[in-house]
């Protein structure tokens, strides 16, 4: 794991400036290569082969080199295949060198063999060409910018802001999507005008003139949109368990200490439970005497998960680390937190993960989490709306009646809440009432949630939910020089789950149906039968009301006014009314407005 930067052309001072801006991603050292055609650099966080895996790594005849960010979990198998083909390795067991020599032998087809998370660049000296690729789910970030026939790229936007002549302007379309629809990270556009992200599962080739000569998508998984199962529940559960256990095992590959984020929910508890079993079977090692788990609790909040965290931690006998974020601490370090995220966030929820990674960095260098499980197994209660659509389309009125009956304790309160929100929405302030009609005149975004469950899950996985969760995961972990790993988003596991029919996701009154079946006997009963979840978040509304005066001060500032994005008087009036309980507006709308303001102020952004 590390941070990478580069550009066409030669400029040592700029390269050093870019590397300095992402030092937190790789405190163990750096490596560079400069010639008259290209400048490449990396900051290293040594996880695998810490002694010999320094980058850039060159092939045998020095015709190609690579800078790499990520981990390849099946590198040992690929290495064996390469050795049989006559390839010669210089490092002891570097996964990065495996990618380079694999590209020598198979060119872009190496991407189809990689199982892991990655963003890398290979420089071909003979062709004067860069080959840049990103993993299938976009777990590892890669941003790029083009200016004056120069192509720049980096693991973080901060590095690209070092480019002389870059004008820090907001991408208005990204702001519009975010403020009105709560959508971000859904396409290649960032919030910074002109700076793009390389889409997940894509690779590009860049010539010495700084032009992208080709862009290709190398992974398009099949999705099963059918409702009915073709196998028994136990068959699906057995298949999933086998793949899941192997996936967790592979994600524990490391030469340094490993810890796990534990929320007390099904997904994170599943990760710690399988890890415990693998350690007991001597099938994995985490390089610590005891398993370290890291959790967030809010003792005075209704969303406190401490009881379930205790159950899970006691079950696996972990060294339990409890973090208790406070509203005062959040506001004391909000500038660093906003700077860390690089772009606005849906809520302040990622602050919980920020705290977890900070604490984890004192004990481990790698952290596993349960990110992505909800979007794969329909873990959120609102997914029931899409289940209803799927059942109706399949004429499965019996299944729908069954779910209303067996899941009444979950779904009736949810549907009642939806109805209440629709009524409240007609009476509460909307984004369009508070944002500038002049700035956003003519902007449109065609966002409509998919009707069917599996289609909606796939879109959340690839577009509307998981991409922003992965940004938060990467930014928060790397801020504290920790490698974050997400076993649920392993592409082999994802490909299997995408083949499952709708009634393996929600059935007999349970969401995550097949996952629960697969882990029967592996989890504490209290968690195996959990009906509701919270996860790593913050008590958003309470925190905003407690700091209403501070927020009003921000909304009243000259910086807020001069940004020109909002109707200042209306924002202040509506927020005051909400904070005092005089309207039922969505607090997350005020958060988005506040977040844009703070982001623009901290990054010195103009519109």
Annotated binding site for L-glutamine: 95
Can 65 be counted among the known catalytic residues? no
Are residues 72 and 53 in contact, defined by beta-carbon separation less than 8 angstroms?
Answer: no
Q: How far apart are CA 267 and CA 262, in angstroms?
A: 9
Ramachandran area for residue 481 (φ above 0: left; ψ -120 to 50: alpha; else beta): left
Are residues 508 and 406 in contact, defined by beta-carbon separation less than 8 angstroms?
Answer: yes
Q: How far apart are CA 15 and CA 41, in angstroms?
A: 7
Which is nearest to 485 in space by CA: 159, 140, 155, 133?
A: 140
Containing 336, the helix (H) or strand (E) segment is helix 334-341
Q: How far apart are CA 46 and CA 449, in angstroms?
A: 41
Helix spans in 168-305 (H): 172-181, 233-251, 266-280
Q: List, as residue ranges, the binding site for ATP.
A: 296, 369-370
Non-local (6+) Cβ contacts of 240 within 8 A are 496, 497, 514, 515, 518
Q: How far apart are CA 342 and CA 602, in angstroms?
A: 10
Q: Please tell me whether residue 120 adopts helix, strand or coil conformation.
A: strand
Q: How many CB atoms lie within 10 A of CB 432?
A: 10
Are residues 490 and 213 in contact, defined by beta-carbon separation less than 8 angstroms?
Answer: no
Are residues 41 and 249 in contact, defined by beta-carbon separation less than 8 angstroms?
Answer: no
Non-local (6+) Cβ contacts of 196 within 8 A are 143, 144, 145, 188, 189, 190
Containing 206, the helix (H) or strand (E) segment is strand 202-207
Q: How many CB atoms lie within 10 A of CB 294?
A: 29
Q: How many CB atoms lie within 10 A of CB 151?
A: 23
Which is nearest to 67 in space by CA: 13, 131, 135, 160?
A: 131
Are residues 512 and 377 in contact, defined by beta-carbon separation less than 8 angstroms?
Answer: yes
* The two three-digit tokens of residue 38, written as one number: 């290209």
Distances (CA, A) of 309 to 298, 378, 488, 536: 12, 22, 20, 12
Q: How many CB atoms lie within 10 A of CB 158?
A: 21
- As a whole number of Å, the end-to-end CA separation of the chain is 35
Active-site choice (1, 2, 38, 65): 2
How many residues in the chain?
Answer: 607
Q: How far apart are CA 198 and CA 133, in angstroms?
A: 8
The two counts, helices (H) then strands (E), for the chain are: 27, 19
Q: How far apart are CA 247 and CA 234, in angstroms?
A: 20
Which is nearest to 6 in space by CA: 29, 47, 37, 27?
A: 37
Non-local (6+) Cβ contacts of 192 within 8 A are 157, 160, 161, 168, 169, 170, 171, 343, 605
The greatest distance separating any two alpha carbons of the chain, rounded to the nearest whole angstrom, comes to 74
Residues belonging to the active site: 2
């Amino acid at each position: 794991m590390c941070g990478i930067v580069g550009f066409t052309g030669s400029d040592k001072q700029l390269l050093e400036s870019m590397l300095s801006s992402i030092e937190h991603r790789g405190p163990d050292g750096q490596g560079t290569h400069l010639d008259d055609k290209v400048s490449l650099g990396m900051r290293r966080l040594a996880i695998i082969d810490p002694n010999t895996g320094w980058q850039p790594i060159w092939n045998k005849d020095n015709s190609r080199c690579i800078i790499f960010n990520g981990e390849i979990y099946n590198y040992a198998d690929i290495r064996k295949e390469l050795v049989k083909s006559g390839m010669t390795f210089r490092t002891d067991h570097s996964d990065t060198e495996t990618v380079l020599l694999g590209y020598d032998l198979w060119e872009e087809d190496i991407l189809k063999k990689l199982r892991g998370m990655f963003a890398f660049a290979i420089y071909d000296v003979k062709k004067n060409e860069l080959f840049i690729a990103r993993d299938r789910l976009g777990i590892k970030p890669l941003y790029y910018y083009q200016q004056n026939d120069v192509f720049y790229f980096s693991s973080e936007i901060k590095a690209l802001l070092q480019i002389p002549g870059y004008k820090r302007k907001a991408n208005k379309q990204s702001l519009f999507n975010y403020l009105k629809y709560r959508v971000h990270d859904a396409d290649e556009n960032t919030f910074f005008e002109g700076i793009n992200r390389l889409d997940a599962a894509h690779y590009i080739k860049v010539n010495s003139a700084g032009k992208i000569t080709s862009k290709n998508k190398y992974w398009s998984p099949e999705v099963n949109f059918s409702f009915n199962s073709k196998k028994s529940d136990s068959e699906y559960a057995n298949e999933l368990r086998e793949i899941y256990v192997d996936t967790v095992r592979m994600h524990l590959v490391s030469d340094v200490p490993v810890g796990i984020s534990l929320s007390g929910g099904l997904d994170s508890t599943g990760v710690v439970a399988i890890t415990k079993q693998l350690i007991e079977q001597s099938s994995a090692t985490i390089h610590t005497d005891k398993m370290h788990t890291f959790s967030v609790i809010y003792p005075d909040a209704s969303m406190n998960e401490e009881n379930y965290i205790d159950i899970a931690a006691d079950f696996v006998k972990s060294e339990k680390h409890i973090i208790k974020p406070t509203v005062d601490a959040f506001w004391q370090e909000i500038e660093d937190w906003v700077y860390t995220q690089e772009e606005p966030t849906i809520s302040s929820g990622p602050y919980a993960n920020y705290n977890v990674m900070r604490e984890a960095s004192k004990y481990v260098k790698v952290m596993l989490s349960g990110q992505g499980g909800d979007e794969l197994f329909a873990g959120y209660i609102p997914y029931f709306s899409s289940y209803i659509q799927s059942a109706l389309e399949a004429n499965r009125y019996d299944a729908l009646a069954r779910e209303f009956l067996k899941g009444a304790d979950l779904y009736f309160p949810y549907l009642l809440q939806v109805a209440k929100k629709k009524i409240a929405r007609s009476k509460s302030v909307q984004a369009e009432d508070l944002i500038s009609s002049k700035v956003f005149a003519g902007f449109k975004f065609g966002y409509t949630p998919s009707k069917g469950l599996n289609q909606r899950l796939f879109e959340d996985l690839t577009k509307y939910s998981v991409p922003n969760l992965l940004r938060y995961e990467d930014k928060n972990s790397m801020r504290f020089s920790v490698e974050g790993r997400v076993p649920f988003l392993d592409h082999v596991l994802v490909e299997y789950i995408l083949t499952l029919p709708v009634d393996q996701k929600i059935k007999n009154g349970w969401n995550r149906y097949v996952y629960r079946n697969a882990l029967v006997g592996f989890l504490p009963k209290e968690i195996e039968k959990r009906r509701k979840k919270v996860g790593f978040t913050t008590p958003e509304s309470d925190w905003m009301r407690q700091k209403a005066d501070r927020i009003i001060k921000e909304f009243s500032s000259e910086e807020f006014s001069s940004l020109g994005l909002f109707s200042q008087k209306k924002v202040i009036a509506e927020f005051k009314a909400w904070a005092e309980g005089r309207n039922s507006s969505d607090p997350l709308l005020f958060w988005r407005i506040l977040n844009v303001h703070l982001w623009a102020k901290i990054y010195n952004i103009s519109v």
